[in-house]
Chain A
């Protein structure tokens, strides 16, 4: 299984969610993407986005103000 990494730190909304959207669109099913974000709104956004797009939110953590999410593309 492939794992991709996106550094979206410093990006303002909608940057991070757009990057995630594009990366997942081009990726193969079941690919896992780890994304790091400093935009605080991303935490709620990624949860809602995964729910609506049926991609799986594997984990969501915050460390020192950096939000780290792992998302698995739906198969």
Chain B
């Protein structure tokens, strides 16, 4: 056969596809063309390279072109750019970026793995010295050099997404004072607001200065101090280093020029076999569109996990013998921010609303291990389900404890179309060092069922805010006094549980007022709620997630 496979882009998706096809079809001739200097590098490790968690470049770039050639028989041309594809002739024009020389490469099968590039908004002064993006090893080396030379005392990060905030943490660990400027009214846009606010609180506690709803208008260099003045619609912040991290855009130039179909997300349209709209041309990784597993809508969620999986699918399909399909994505993602872990899968509340689902949500704190086992930590699970058929649509988990396990459990469940009832039935591993006897995911599912079945009426944190000044509403914190002293919702009153139940039974509690019960995680409030209901109080509700998940100001 000796088919010629040409792959454009040599990071995650491209090298994965190359390795897979060569392994399964050793007689194929595989060539990777890539623009940059490094191949197959660990892009996801770049923030940690800045923070020196990863000490040296060689830990990020584990394989060289020579190794690809010697170990796998794959040809790699770095610093080569594919400038044009001629699909009728099955040729690609490639430019050697060092010599400027152009050459034609023939192919039987072509793979576009051109990835994504950071978006750089057209802001005045954005091309000044010491303003960077963080995408490649070359970017990271430049930033790391400045840090190692001690030239960075304060930095501004524009954009509070996953990469921006990972970078904020790592720069903070290097002793840099970091400010993050975000245009939207919350950090971490894929997450729902109340979860993002909890993360923001944590970042503030760790000394990261966060500005939301703020727009950068220009960058100006102060010629005396050599600082960059970051001007915004609300003020200005001086910085020695600026990192632009406002998101990435798929590299679709080659695809567009040759007339490949582009999906509505703006990435290259492919089917489940990673085939584009033209024969023998595939697209994979950050440059390609995918599908949302939940509703089959087009989705573009550029992640390394997807690039690797879909890269393998591409490799398997290139010879046309084995049709392996890639089902799509849930947008499962995870991030560590100082002591806090956050993860999500499936639809957020915002997404679900956008797609027109009628949903129910709950927010449930629980422990990641047995509550009596040393080292246990709280995690908060937000679960989102379809009100009608109880299908689980999404989850977000935040806390200092283990979040990767429960998010992966829920991602798996959603992938297989689970309902909330199914979650409560899962046979999950339990021993005190690993989990609670009733795992956090199962507890969250129980609370969701209680809510779906109308057994409990709850209010969300943002709903309570409006009610605190309403004289027809009493917000009663039923925790013990020492707990109330530590932190409480401004405007709430403290009547400990036992006292409250006494008063309720002896008619010492106003049953005409709307009553919202607050406790630490929602459990004591739920128990009290049940008793009050039994006593005939019908204007009672509880604060979801209690003080623990309350993201607004406490006193």
Contacts and interface: CB of A to CB of B under 8 A. Distances in A.
Interface of A: 9-14, 17-18, 20-21, 38-41, 45, 48-49, 52-53, 64-66
B486 interface: yes
B167 interface: no
28 contacts: A10-B372, A11-B372, A12-B371, A12-B372, A13-B520, A14-B479, A14-B480, A14-B520, A17-B483, A18-B480, A21-B482, A38-B371, A38-B372, A38-B373, A38-B374, A38-B375, A39-B376, A40-B375, A40-B377, A40-B401, A41-B378, A41-B548, A45-B483, A49-B482, A49-B485, A53-B485, A65-B373, A65-B376
Given A40-B400, A48-B487, A17 B482 contact: yes
A40 B479 contact: no
Given A14-B520, A45-B486, 15 more contacts: A9-B372, A38-B371, A38-B372, A38-B375, A40-B376, A40-B378, A45-B483, A48-B487, A49-B482, A49-B485, A52-B486, A65-B373, A65-B374, A65-B375, A66-B374
Interface residues of B, number: 19
A51 to B, nearest CB: 9
Instruction: State the majority secondary structure of interface residues on A.
Output: loop
A64 B375 contact: yes
A22 to B, nearest CB: 9
B198 to A, nearest CB: 14
B112 to A, nearest CB: 48
Contacts of B485: 49, 52-53
Contacts of A12: 371-372
A65 B400 CA distance: 13
A52 B484 CA distance: 11
Interface centre among B373, B401, B482, B520 (most CB of A within 10 A): B482
A52 B485 CA distance: 7
Contacts of B400: 40
A49 B373 contact: no
A48 B479 CA distance: 16
> What are the 5 closest A-B residue pairs judged by CB atoms, nearest first?
A65-B375, A65-B374, A10-B372, A21-B482, A48-B486
